[in-house]
Amino acid sequence: MLGLWMEEEIRQQPEVLARGANNYMSSLMPVLKDRKFDMVLLAARGSSDNAALFGRYLIEVFLGIPVSLAAPSVLTRYHRHVQYTNCLAIGISQSGAAPDISEILGALRSEGHTTLAITNTPNSRVTQEAEHTLLLDAGMEQSVAATKTYTASLLALYEVVRALGGELPSPAGLLPDAAWVETARIAASEASGSFVRNSPTFSLGRGFGFSTAQETALKLMECALLPCKSYSSADFEHGPKALAGHGSTAVSFDGPMPELAAQGCEIVVAPEASTTSSDGVDKILNPIWDIIYGQWLALLCARARGLNPDVPQHIRKVTQTL
């Protein structure tokens, strides 16, 4: 069957996340406890960049620290150095081989800033450039499509915020289990036909869910070769919604969209996870649950089109850009 590696790695996520919930904080506390920063710089590409978007919302909402998403070309292509102040620079690279992310970490470390690499690969380039490293410990990821390393990166960023003093509950007991993986698979199976037959397609979310919209669109493009554009559901109102008429489909990570449906767009509402903690924190961890649905959607659409997402066209597991 096509995409067997990807399916196996989707199913491994509850185990990987449970392990991370037990281990990430012990790695981060010696580095971040009681530390104060004036800003955070997040450097990443691809799926890691979508994870960084989730991190940005977490840091700004729960720590009140301004976050910048790095534009690596400022350093690597234009050879300019930005004047950061008392900065925590976090580089996210699942392979650890990204040269542009490594250069940013190396440059900020040389300027005296605190640098942290989040990666699944020990002894990789980002670990050599950063002062500190958090290993995702997700096990080998064979499929080109990032699945378990992506959700592990989301959890790692959540734990970074907790280590810095953010008032967030422990993720233990609030993470997806095998039952949710199956629930997401069934829901994606029911929705996949709409994406295969319709065009254009959109992926919509807002706030913490914006990262999920971005990553789902990326997965649909790289795995199933389906052109899919992601938007903040707020930005979508500022023009792009004009394309969402009859024959279009949108997956929503922001609940039902009756006005959009009235235009003729077929709305696929992602199944909602129940992640309310005893502390009353609601939906903060939903992106970790929701993207499992997005991953299944991409895999099942790929299979419906006779494509193998384990070895998609024209892309490789490790992408190196400068």
**Domain interval for residue 295:** 178-304
Examine the domain organization and report whether 203 and 151 are in the same domain. Answer: no
Nearest to 176 by CA among 292, 57, 19: 292
Examine the domain organization and report whether 9 and 155 are in the same domain. Answer: yes
Does 238 map to a domain?
Answer: yes
Query: What's the pLDDT at 311?
Result: 83
For the chain, give the number of residues.
Answer: 322
Examine the domain organization and report whether 20 and 110 are in the same domain. Answer: yes
Examine the domain organization and report whether 16 and 135 are in the same domain. Answer: yes
Instruction: Report yes or no: 199 and 229 within 8 Å, Cβ to Cβ.
Output: no
Examine the domain organization and report whether 9 and 143 are in the same domain. Answer: yes
Q: Sort strands 39-44 and 132-135 into parallel, antiparallel or unpaired.
A: unpaired
Examine the domain organization and report whether 158 and 222 are in the same domain. Answer: no
Examine the domain organization and report whether 154 and 183 are in the same domain. Answer: no
First to last CA, the chain: 36
pLDDT in tens, the chain (322 residues): 898 999 999 999 999 999 999 999 999 999 999 999 999 999 999 999 999 999 999 999 999 999 999 988 898 899 898 999 999 999 999 888 889 999 999 999 999 999 999 999 999 999 999 999 999 999 999 998 999 999 999 999 999 999 999 999 999 999 999 999 999 999 999 999 999 999 999 999 999 999 999 999 999 999 999 999 999 999 998 989 999 999 999 999 999 999 999 999 999 999 988 655 555 455 899 999 999 999 999 999 999 999 999 887 666 545 555 5
Does 249 map to a domain?
Answer: yes
Instruction: Report yes or no: 171 and 285 within 8 Å, Cβ to Cβ.
Output: yes
Query: What's the pLDDT at 281?
Result: 52
State the DSSP code for 241. Answer: G
Regarding pTM above 0.85, the answer is yes
Q: Rounded distance, CA 18 to CA 177, Å? A: 9
Examine the domain organization and report whether 260 and 287 are in the same domain. Answer: yes
Examine the domain organization and report whether 230 and 293 are in the same domain. Answer: yes
φ and ψ of 15, to 5 deg? -70, -45
Q: Rounded distance, CA 228 to CA 200, Å? A: 7
Does 170 map to a domain?
Answer: no
Does 173 map to a domain?
Answer: no
Our count of domains for the chain comes to: 2
Examine the domain organization and report whether 26 and 131 are in the same domain. Answer: yes
Does 321 map to a domain?
Answer: no
